């Protein structure tokens, strides 16, 4: 069951600067969590929803990722690699893969360096009902100035702010690193331009009433971008919630 979604896009090109010196030698995407590379958990998440055509935006140490996962057959998926010759930002990396997604009705996008238990079925329903350009997975976390803060009214995200510097710490609703997108998203991303989907595209969609979200509630969302978070993820990750898809 894929809810009309055939393809997924995963960002897998980060530098991992906050995990140095380890990431001077290794891509952060292949650092293990409970016996599997972080990226593999994300591949298995979209596969759980019937999506096996997966594009990886890779850059820094992409050779390690390609050697580890090859064409994806070992995981019963088909992997496509879109290489950033220079860092283009999260939106710029997506633009590189435009040809692969421009004829889809909708597709999954997400970060590859987090552990998350996402219900793409619930998100797809909200996406379809509202004719959205983007529908984001949302999670409530102890906010420490490292995530996209959202204001949610019903199913509509009325404001999206990526890491606002003056925001007080506390439990906040943030973007959980996963989204369903319409190909209309490419209209917001100029070709060949470095751009952040969180800082420049999602705020624009919120202004135009085209951005929606689904609160994932008690489902896990664990970041791995610092040593403290990585250690926490290794200890606390419980895997994916069982559902009718596992029958």
Query: Does residue 245 form part of some domain?
Result: no
DSSP letter for 198, please.
I
Q: Is the pLDDT of residue 167 over 90?
A: no
Query: Does residue 2 form part of some domain?
Result: no
Instruction: Report the pLDDT averaged over residues 198-202.
Output: 90
pLDDT band with cut points at 50, 70 and 90 for residue 122: very high
Q: What is the pLDDT of residues 81-107, one digit of tens each?
A: 998 877 888 899 999 999 999 999 999
Taking phi over 0 as left and psi of -120 to 50 as alpha, with beta for the rest, 125 belongs to alpha
- Containing structural domain, residue 204: 7-239
Q: What is the pLDDT of residues 46-83, one digit of tens each?
A: 999 999 999 999 887 888 888 899 999 999 999 999 98
Query: Does residue 247 form part of some domain?
Result: no
Query: Does residue 1 form part of some domain?
Result: no
Query: Does residue 124 form part of some domain?
Result: yes
Query: Does residue 136 form part of some domain?
Result: yes
Q: Give 201-214 as a DSSP string.
A: IHHHHHHTT-EEEE
Instruction: Report the pLDDT averaged over residues 4-14.
Output: 89
What is the per-residue pLDDT for 151?
85
What is the per-residue pLDDT for 16?
61
Residue of 185, 241, 190 lying closest to 216 (CA atoms): 241
Residue of 27, 62, 58, 33 lying closest to 45 (CA atoms): 33
Task: From the candidates 36, 48, 125, 163, give the one annotated as an active-site residue.
Answer: 163
Rounded Cα distance between 88 and 118, Å, is: 26
Total tally of structural domains belonging to the chain: 1
pTM of the model: 0.89
Which residue would you say has higher pLDDT here, 42 or 31?
42
What is the per-residue pLDDT for 101?
94
What is the per-residue pLDDT for 247?
36
Q: Is the pLDDT of residue 7 over 90?
A: yes
CATH number for the domain spanning 141: value is 3.90.550.10
194 catalytic? Reply is no
What is the per-residue pLDDT for 192?
85
Query: Does residue 43 form part of some domain?
Result: yes
What is the per-residue pLDDT for 9?
96
Q: What is the pLDDT of residues 178-187, one digit of tens each?
A: 999 999 999 9
Query: Does residue 244 form part of some domain?
Result: no
């Amino acid at each position: 069951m894929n809810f009309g979604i055939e393809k997924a896009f995963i960002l897998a090109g980060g530098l991992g600067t906050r995990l140095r010196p380890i990431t001077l030698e290794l891509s952060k995407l292949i650092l293990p969590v409970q016996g599997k590379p972080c990226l593999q958990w994300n591949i298995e998440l979209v596969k759980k929803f019937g999506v096996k055509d997966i594009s990886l935006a890779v850059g820094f140490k992409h050779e390690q990722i390609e050697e580890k996962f090859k064409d994806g057959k070992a995981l019963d998926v088909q992997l496509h690699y879109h290489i950033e010759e220079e860092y283009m930002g999260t939106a710029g990396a997506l633009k590189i893969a435009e040809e692969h997604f421009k004829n889809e009705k909708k597709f999954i996008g997400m970060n590859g360096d987090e552990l998350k238990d996402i219900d793409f079925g619930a998100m797809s329903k909200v996406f379809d009902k509202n004719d959205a350009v983007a529908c984001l997975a949302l999670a409530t976390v102890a906010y420490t100035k490292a995530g996209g803060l959202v204001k949610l009214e019903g199913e509509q995200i009325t404001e999206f702010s990526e890491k606002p510097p003056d925001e007080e710490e506390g439990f906040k609703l943030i973007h959980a690193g996963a989204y369903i997108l319409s190909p209309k998203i490419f209209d917001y991303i100029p070709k060949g331009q470095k751009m952040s989907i969180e800082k420049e595209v999602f705020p624009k969609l919120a202004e135009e009433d085209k951005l929606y979200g689904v609160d994932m509630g008690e489902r896990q969302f664990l970041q791995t971008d610092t040593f403290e978070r990585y250690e926490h993820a290794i200890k606390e990750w419980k895997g994916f919630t069982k559902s009718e898809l596992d029958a």
